[in-house]
């Protein structure tokens, strides 16, 4: 299953507007997420971690943030085994190499490229939040 299929599964029989009310994501953007294509570029859509978090929070009985992050390609199942996300227990801490790989996959935020300074801030936050 890919991310678009998962989001369509979460939507179920809800209208896009109902899903929008649950998630706080515009109904048009939800439509693009389910189609899987960015209409402006014609390229596969790459939702931000914040969008995935909103979906996971709204449909917590049907999915998890880590599942959506994996389907979006931000993290692999091997990496999931090594971290703790919102009470989802992994096998332990993640290494600096794992963190570098995750940050390399997060190329932009809100459409803007992530600067080296931003990467270091994100790295420090993640190490503080998820390290034992």
Say which CATH number the domain at 54 has.
Answer: 1.10.260
Split into its structural domains, the chain has a count of 2
Q: 74, 98, 118 — which closes off a domain?
A: 74
Cβ pair 115, 103 in contact under 8 A: no
Q: Find the range with the poorest average confidence among 86-90, 111-115, 116-120.
A: 86-90
pLDDT tens string 73-101: 887 766 666 555 444 444 445 667 767 77
Cβ atoms < 10 Å from Cβ of 122: 16
pLDDT tens string 20-58: 999 999 999 999 999 999 888 999 988 988 899 899 999
pTM (predicted TM-score): 0.62
34 with 11, same domain: the answer is yes
6 with 65, same domain: the answer is yes
Q: 36, 55, 74 — which closes off a domain?
A: 74
44 with 58, same domain: the answer is yes
84 with 97, same domain: the answer is yes
63 with 33, same domain: the answer is yes
Distance in angstroms (rounded) separating the CA atoms of residues 36 and 23: 18
Please give the backbone phi and psi of residue 46, each rounded to the nearest 5 degrees, phi first. Answer: -125, 90
């Amino acid at each position: 299953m890919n991310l678009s299929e998962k989001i369509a599964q979460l939507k179920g029989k809800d209208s896009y507007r109902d899903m929008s009310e649950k998630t706080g994501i515009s109904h048009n953007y939800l439509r693009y997420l389910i189609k899987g294509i960015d209409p402006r570029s014609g390229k596969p859509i790459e939702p931000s971690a914040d969008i995935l978090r909103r979906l996971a929070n709204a449909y917590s009985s049907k999915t998890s943030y880590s599942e959506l992050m994996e389907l979006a390609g931000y993290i692999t199942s091997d990496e999931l085994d090594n971290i703790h996300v919102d009470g989802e227990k992994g096998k332990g801490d993640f290494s600096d190499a794992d963190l570098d790989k995750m940050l390399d996959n997060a190329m932009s935020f809100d459409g803007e490229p992530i600067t080296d300074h931003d990467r270091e801030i994100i790295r420090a936050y993640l190490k503080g939040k998820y390290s034992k």
